[in-house]
A and B are shown apart, each in its own frame.
Chain A
Amino acid sequence: MTETITASAPQGTPVPDLGDRVTSLVAHADDNMVLAQRLGEWISNAPDLELDIALGNIALDHLGVARALYTQAGDVEGEGRTEDDFAMRRSEREFLNVLLVEQPNGDFAQTIVRQVFFDVYQQLLWAALADSDDDTLAGIAGRAAKETAYHNEFSRSWLERLGGGTDESHRRAQDAVNGLWRYTSEITSDEWMRVITRVLHVSGLVVPDDPYQRSGGRQGYHTEHLGYLLAEMQWMDRAHPGMTW
């Protein structure tokens, strides 16, 4: 299938109000930091070499976005906090990422569905932030928009293959959609829903009708998975306080 489905923010698409500038920068950085860590878990474990490289590359892009946003948050705040202070020296309750990105990788289908959901959200976000009054943020968004489009091409093409592949790949893809749907209220918008509905349809998958939703990530209330992720990510800095890379 070659249908092109693009996510583009309609004129005047609102940027989600996540609080003051620093909080908002940190929240967007946390999304990317946590997803980078999750995707990194695939390295040496992916189904084949190309996917291993792809998931590792995508993880690196997310890490880079997180680093740039943390640095900008520190600059705006003006209290000398560095990217490492934000990433390595905050606890679970201080992380403001959406619940979706901290969900375990599960099988490959679950990783791909999580990525499709997040990629579309990020495409809309970067399009809106590219006009930001904050020049640095606008620049980070402009570059991330191009990277996200590339990620989305990857994740969407895999969702199509899984959804339209074997009975088992279809079942696993739909299971992943059903299982992750409850974490979408933190990233959804009219445009997100329109694009995702289309993407699922093209992949032979359906939008779940289960209305149950969980949220709280933006307030620092997380699922049980984030603590373990941070424990692994932060242990070296916590074991050797003040270490430098």
Chain B
Amino acid sequence: MDGPRPPGDDLVSVLTDLRGVVASVVDPEIPVLTIEDLGILRTVEQVGDRVEVTITPTYSGCPAMRQIEEDIVAALGREGFEDVDVVVAHNPPWGSDLITPDGHRKLREYGIAPPTHITEVVCPQCSRGGPRLVSGFGSTACKALMVCASCGEPFDYFKQF
């Protein structure tokens, strides 16, 4: 950049990087999704040497949340930030509509049908509709188990929530 830079410019770029570092943390249960894709990363703020990260839990009982908190602390630690505070904000509550379009695409490619109304679900393998619900509860709190009526492939469906 030419000429004198406006005050605060450095701070802004550091903040942007910090968010990038935190945003790259992945969900331990669905490692193709970052916490940004999932829509649970609210804010990343730096106050002096301290970094405060605010996240919103998905399901009440999701055991991945603790791991995500630890992974955020570790990711910032690798960048030299030792003083990290992860704040859990419950309001407004998380909903599956916060998953980004990029997140939807990644889920599909990973073999998980992204959240949509259950009558609109298409098979992530053959892209045909009309799958049958096998179990309303699946391998994690966020998923149900379905089977495709066309190709016969069983698959996970990320519940609309």
Contacts and interface: CB of A to CB of B under 8 A. Distances in A.
The prevalent SS among residues of B at the interface is loop
B93 A143 contact: yes
A143 B135 contact: no
A57 B141 contact: yes
A64 B80 CA distance: 32
Interface stretch (A7-15, A93-101, A131-139): A131-139
Contact of B59 (A50, A61, A136): A61
B89 to A, nearest CB: 7
A175 interface: no
Interface of A: 50, 53-54, 56-65, 67-68, 135-136, 138-140, 142-144, 146-147, 150, 153-154
Contacts of A135: 91
A64 B135 contact: no
Interface in B33-59: 57, 59
B134 interface: yes
A63 B61 contact: yes
Contacts of A63: 60-61
A53 B138 contact: yes
Contact of A65 (B60, B92, B95, B136): B60
Contacts, number: 76
A136 B136 contact: no
B94 interface: yes
Contacts of B110: none
A147 B90 contact: no
A119 to B, nearest CB: 14
A96 B40 CA distance: 32
Interface string B56-81: 01011111000000000000000000
A137 to B, nearest CB: 8
A50 B161 CA distance: 20
A57 B90 contact: no
A50 B91 contact: no
Contact of B141 (A50, A61, A68, A138): A61
Interface of B: 57, 59-63, 89-95, 134-139, 141, 159, 161
A56 B159 CA distance: 17
Contact of A50 (B60, B89, B94, B135): B135
Given A61-B61, A147-B60, A139 B137 contact: no
A150 B95 CA distance: 14
Nearest to B89: A139
Given A53-B137, A150-B136, A154-B136, A64 B90 contact: no
A139 B141 contact: no
Nearest to B91: A139
- Most chain B beta-carbon neighbours within 10 Å: one of A56, A58, A61, A154: A61
A139 B90 contact: yes
Nearest to B134: A50
A67 B63 CA distance: 12
B73 to A, nearest CB: 16
A224 to B, nearest CB: 28
Top 9 A-B pairs, shortest CB-CB distance: A139-B91, A64-B60, A60-B61, A139-B90, A64-B61, A143-B93, A54-B137, A142-B93, A57-B137
